[in-house]
Amino acid sequence: MSNLQITGVGSGVDGLVAPLSGPGVCRICFNLIGSASTLCRACLASEHHLDVVVPISYSVNGSGLHRKIVAYKRHAEPFVAYAIRDLAAILERFLAVHELCLGAGQPFDLVTTVPSSDRQRDRHNQLRRVVAELVPTVGARHGRLLAPSGVAAGRRAFCPGRYQALASLHGQRVLLIDDMWTTGASAQSAAAVLRAAGASYVAAAVIGRHLNIEYSDNRRRLEVLRWGFSWGNCVVCRPPM
Ligand SMILES: [Zn+2]
Ligand SMILES: [Zn+2]
């Protein structure tokens, strides 16, 4: 397991690491890949139903952000209250500045979150509570638009059947929020269901794009290609690298 300190990588504002872009980076999800391709393996294998994917930061295993994203749903941990506070603050600060980047110049009508994979867990979905109650920029527009259908699906496989829409969304512009993007399977599946329900535009805002620092030469690449995190820039509005 890594004992990486994020200091010095991406100039870690609150432990955040700005996603890289350009050659060697997946143009959909910002995963680090071999330079010969423009899409990572997971994005090559998936269907695409999102107009844009905007990760706020990389979630590097071993980092403080990664620990918060993993821990905030576990009720038993004393760390939970701090993790919730920090993740809500990250979403609020980012969405207050970059909603129009996500929306291609227009605000969203509705905001929702990717449901849990099973019904029991989704009843107490922590991300839904965080967005509805602690992220005022979008909280008033938040609604529960999706629920788990009960259909079993591999967590890493694209499978819209795992979710059902709870409302007709004819012509609505929907912002879909998730805490972590690993393969994108759940977010792409959720987006497919939102579109089938009539949504005209669906964008994903993700707190952390997971990055395994031990994989391939990811550590070296992150350290060499420093890209300072700034609240004023997102992967849509910042100048090219
Ligand atoms: Zn990708
Ligand atoms: Zn932006």
Ranges of each domain in the chain: 47-215
Dist. CA 124 → ligand 1 center (Å):
29
Q: What local confidence, expressed as pLDDT, does residue 7 receive?
A: 37
The tens digit of pLDDT for each residue in 79-93 reads 898 899 999 999 999
The rounded distance, in Å, linking the Cα atoms of 76 and 64 is: 18
Dist. CA 1 → ligand 2 center (Å):
33
Dist. CA 75 → ligand 1 center (Å):
31
The rounded distance, in Å, linking the Cα atoms of 126 and 41 is: 29
- Domain range 47-215, CATH class: alpha beta
Dist. CA 223 → ligand 2 center (Å):
23
The tens digit of pLDDT for each residue in 153-173 reads 777 889 999 999 999 999 999
Has this prediction a pTM greater than 0.85?
Answer: yes
Q: What local confidence, expressed as pLDDT, does residue 134 receive?
A: 97
The rounded distance, in Å, linking the Cα atoms of 66 and 143 is: 26
Dist. CA 82 → ligand 1 center (Å):
30
Dist. CA 237 → ligand 2 center (Å):
4
Dist. CA 232 → ligand 2 center (Å):
7
* pLDDT tier, 226 (very low <50, low <70, confident <90, very high otherwise): low
Instruction: Yes or no: say if 113 and 128 are a contact pair by the CB < 8 Å rule.
Output: yes
β-bridge partners, 208: 57, 180
Dist. CA 181 → ligand 1 center (Å):
10
Dist. CA 95 → ligand 1 center (Å):
22
